[in-house]
Amino acid sequence: MFDATLDLAMFAKGTEDYTVSSVNGPRIICNDLSGRVHEFGGGTIWIHTGESAGYFGKIRSGKAQTIELMTELPVAEGDQITIGAWQEFDTQTLINAVNSVLRNYKIMKTNEDLKYKPEKEYYDLPEEVTEDVRKVFIEGFWPVSGLKGDYMVCSHYWRVEDQQLVIYDKHYNRYMKDGEIKLYYVDYHGPVSRHDKISGQVDPQYLRYMSWLYLCRNLIQKTHKDNLAASDMYNEAKIYERDYGQLPNKRLMTKTMVFPSW
């Protein structure tokens, strides 16, 4: 969430990088900072180095070379920080924008809870596994000269129905043995907390533009319903949605070709 909110803030309103000159409790002094009164209050700070590296949060107030945090943190002279001035989008709004995209962003997940039995055909899918299964690997071996040992073999004889995995064709599966079943399936990424990491499967460009769309919609609906500039930004964001809307699906695995059961 740290990187995603920072990237969004840089795109949406611009940010400023500073080096900490000194610290007094929750107050951080940067000699190069020249903020006007109230310019940084309500904005966001991202800390890149030092003991608090990875922290980001709301700025209580700011004046001249000093910004005051909501809570005292172990920040020291020389630490690198980024500041986003308050321009309609505070910390929580940035987080909400990112999570609005992640909530409906599909990614690939894996599950290895099932155990294969040669004589078994029906397996109840684990609760977290969706029915959008793309690939099924079964622990087995290849009776081929020069190949020794066990392998995870991609199966072409399976289907999913009524929250069950059905594995058929015992002739093909004669090379399988008692062992693990590894499922690759599609599920939603889901929202994350401010301290969690976002999956590397999420396209950062798509996340940025769709989060920007959320921010523009938020401006129109809550603060600037009759503001032409806000409407123009929203229309621009809709263009991004049109151009990049298919990016998530292109990153998903295609389903393995399976043969029908007889």
113-159 confidence digits (pLDDT tens): 999 888 889 999 999 999 999 999 988 765 555 555 567 888 888 99
Q: Residue 47 pLDDT > 90, yes or no?
A: yes
- Confidence band of 184 (pLDDT split at 50, 70, 90): very high
Same domain? For 10 and 60 the reply is yes
Q: Is residue 199 part of a domain?
A: yes
Residue type, 100: S
Q: Which amino acid is at 248?
A: P
- State pLDDT tens for residues 155-181: 888 999 999 999 987 666 666 667 889
Q: What pLDDT, on the 0 to 100 scale, is given for residue 148?
A: 56
Q: Is the pLDDT of residue 243 over 80?
A: no
Residue 141 lies in a domain: yes
pLDDT at 174: 61
CB burial class (10 A; 0-12, 13-18, 19+) of residue 257?
Answer: exposed
Residue 259 falls inside a structural domain: no
- The tokens describing 140, both together, are 């087995």
Lookup result for tokens 């590397």: 200
Tell whether 180 and 233 lie within a shared domain.
no
Using one digit for the tens of pLDDT, what is the confidence trace for 101-120? 999 899 999 999 999 888 88
pLDDT of residue 96: 94
According to the model, what pLDDT value does residue 162 have?
Answer: 92
The CATH number of whichever domain residue 40 belongs to comes to: 2.40.30
In-domain check, residue 221: yes
Question: Residue 166: which H helix or E strand, with range?
Answer: strand 164-167
Quote the pLDDT of residue 248.
77
If asked whether residues 206 and 154 sit together in one domain, one would say no
Verify that 82 and 6 share a domain, yes or no.
yes
The band of 63, judged by pLDDT with boundaries at 50, 70 and 90, is confident
**Global pTM?**
0.81
Q: What is the domain range of residue 42? A: 2-88
**pLDDT given at position 139:** 82
**Which residue stretches of the chain are H helix?**
2-12, 91-102, 204-218, 228-244, 247-250
Residues 114 and 51 reside in one and the same domain = no
* Whether 203 and 184 share a structural domain: no
Does residue 184 share a domain with residue 196?
no
What percent of the chain shows pLDDT beyond 70? 85
Residue 187: band (very low, low, confident or very high) from pLDDT cuts 50, 70, 90: very high
Q: How far apart are the first and last CA of the chain?
A: 49
Q: Encoding tokens for residue 29?
A: 């002094």
Number of domains in the chain: 3
Do 64 and 136 sit in the same domain of this protein? no
Instruction: Specify the pLDDT at position 258.
Output: 87
Neighbours of 262 (CB within 10 A): 5
Does any domain span residue 40? yes
